[in-house]
Amino acid sequence: MDVPRLHPDTLEEVKQRVDIYDVISDYVVLKKQGKDYVGLCPFHDEKTPSFSVSPTKQFYHCFGCGEGGTAIKFLMELGKQSFTEVIFELAKRYQIPIKTLEPEERQELQRQLSLKEQLYEIISLTSSFYQHALYQPQGEIALNYLKDKRQLKDETIQKFELGYAPSGWETLYHYLVEQKRYPLTLVEEAGLIKPRKNGSGYYDQFRDRLMIPIRDIQGRIIAFGSRTLENEEPKYLNSPETPLFNKGSILFGLDIAKNTIRSLDKVVVVEGYFDVIKLHEVGITNTVASLGTAFSQTQLKQLLRYTESKQVIFNFDADKAGIKATQRAIKEIESLIYSGQVQLKILNLPDGKDADEFITSHSDSLTNYQKLIDNAPLWLDWQIQQLLVGKDLKKANEFQEVTKQMIELLNHLSDSNQRTYYINYCAEILSQSKDRSMLFYVDNLYRQLKKPQLVNKKFSVNKVEDTLLKEAEETLLRIYLHFPEYRSEILNHLEEKDLVFSLSNHRFLWQQILEIEEKLERPDNQESNQLIYQLQERILQLSNPINNINHLFRLNETKESEDRERFSLVINAAIISMEKTSLEKYCRYCYEKYMNLNIKINVPFDSQEDFSTFQYYFTEHRLSKQKIMKLERLLTISQLDIYGG
């Protein structure tokens, strides 16, 4: 890319105007956590979010790989672009007047910006033309269709600036090119006219159609959707791709829905223009629609910028075509939903109706629709229920088919707690709610799934756990030794959680500390030297020296002084790490205990005692996983508090 040299004034204005959340959220799904945002780092593979964005500091940092910097650096690293290229792109994005050092370069830049401004102007004028035509005698059929068939109010028609494209082949062409004197090439580039194949002129893209303006997020009209008023194909027709319009990245209605999406913290995605228009008319204004294409990750990431909880509800048609569209949409965004970054729900309305039909046919449509949204099943519950449609589980071949498809779904789940929950859910379905046989199906599903990391990579998991445990225990011991004012806090945490030091050298050192403090007259005094001195004396007298503890007696005064104000947060994070590691070991122990019973489906237990043992360890394993998940969330929040300020 040949980028001209930019004036220092432009550089400074870009730096002042750019918003780091606005930039990074286009590439990373971010979730609010405290005053910052977290997500999966785009610079290295990870399953647990360690990438933090601070809007107040206008800075990002990954606790996993160490990458960090400003919005400009983020774009440079992600796109492998130069500083000037990034500044140039941001200036265009934020519509900042671009000054260059050479007049000819400035002229070319202004030409590029001027092209878009002229296209905006032409499309806006065209929208006014269509609106005017709707209320003329030639638009009577279209207006009656909106009022009678669609039962739309006048204010709704005006709010969405609906219009009518006259039936003539060159009506708009004559208006824009011959009357308004717009350049032919610009009108064509706006997607409003097309050249005839025989080269004899141009004809209108839209003729005898109901017209629906499509806006960008700033509310500017950039294209049109249209619906035929006769039995013509295609029934719906959009503008072609233009310098302003890329239908795969635009959501109809988002410009007027975004504020409600923020306030309600959820968004409803429907299929059609009139679904959005009708829902907005009755007050359900957190609604958008895709433009006839498969719902994309780009569109999803746009929506996630406006909902902190990442709640998205798909309300596509409930007929076969709508079910297929829902499945395609899930497939398109599966990497985000399988990893738990999106809370996706699926709403299929009763009697196969779309949203527009449902609202029109129900007297209390607003209340009824809201109830259906609130009770919509999670995407995976919906997927599992779809597997059962038309299936008889009492038939062996259909039972086998459903089980196989369930396993395919379950294998995609990366979160172990989510996987455990849905294994139980699927087992309940397969056992047809027979309590005693349900555990057999649970075990059978576990055996057929891909083995989780806990089993496949036991050594590496243990190694990671030991490293985290070592760091946590060392942190507590170092603070305890050198900063007496935090000793009571550490003791209270350990007693409250019933935690002990697990590593042998740390356990020995802790025992020595407790023994010495029992004999000290003032164990909580503000001088740490007495305790450290007596510890070192004891250790020197040992016949078998204790390894890997001498470094705990040394202090990096500069670093520790800087970190001192955050010690309570550091202590809390270390305690959580110790508790989490202990639970993970217990969780593995329970898993191995009930798996070692070697239960096979439809084979009864040798005794009631075996069954009770299996049930006990299975339940303990599940409860431990739930506790670990809570601790992981607490640890992430604690670490962000420490490093995020």
pLDDT tens, 11-33? 778 877 888 888 898 888 888 88
The pLDDT value given to residue 458: 43
Burial letters 209-246, b for 16+ CB under 10 A, else e: bbbbbbbbeeeebbbbbbbbbeeeeeebbbbeebebbe
The full set of domain ranges for the chain reads 8-93, 116-245, 249-384, 390-450, 477-562
**Span 299-318, average pLDDT:** 88
Segment 561-565 long-range contacts (CB within 8 Å, at least 24 positions apart): 564/483
Angstrom CA distances, 184 to 29, 192, 195, 238, 442, stand at 42, 10, 10, 20, 68
What tens digit of pLDDT does each residue of 622-637 get?
888 888 888 887 877 7
CATH 3.30.1360.10 fits 249-384, yes or no: no
**pLDDT for 379-416, tens place per residue?**
999 999 999 999 998 898 999 999 999 999 998 887 77
Could you tell me the pTM of the whole model?
A: 0.62
pLDDT 10s digits, 54-66: 887 788 888 888 7
pLDDT per position as a tens digit, 243-296: 899 888 899 999 999 989 988 999 999 999 999 999 999 999 999 998 876 788
The model's confidence at residue 131, banded by pLDDT at 50, 70 and 90, is: very high
Cβ-based neighbour number of residue 492 at 10 Å? 12
User: Out of 3.90.580.10, 3.40.50.300, 3.40.50.11540, 1.10.10.10, which CATH number does the structure's domain 8-93 have?
Assistant: 3.90.580.10
Which pLDDT value is given to residue 523?
A: 47
Check if CATH label 3.90.980.10 holds for domain 116-245.
yes
Select from 39, 37, 33, 77 the least CA-distant residue to 58: 37
The stretch 413-435 carries a mean pLDDT of 81
Q: Which of 601, 619, 598 is nearest to 441 (CA)?
A: 601
> Does position 474 have pLDDT exceeding 80, yes or no?
yes
- Tokens coding 319: 């007929």
Q: Tell me: pLDDT of 605 over 70.
A: no
- Tokens for 398, please give them: 């259909």
pLDDT tier for residue 600 given thresholds of 50, 70 and 90? very low
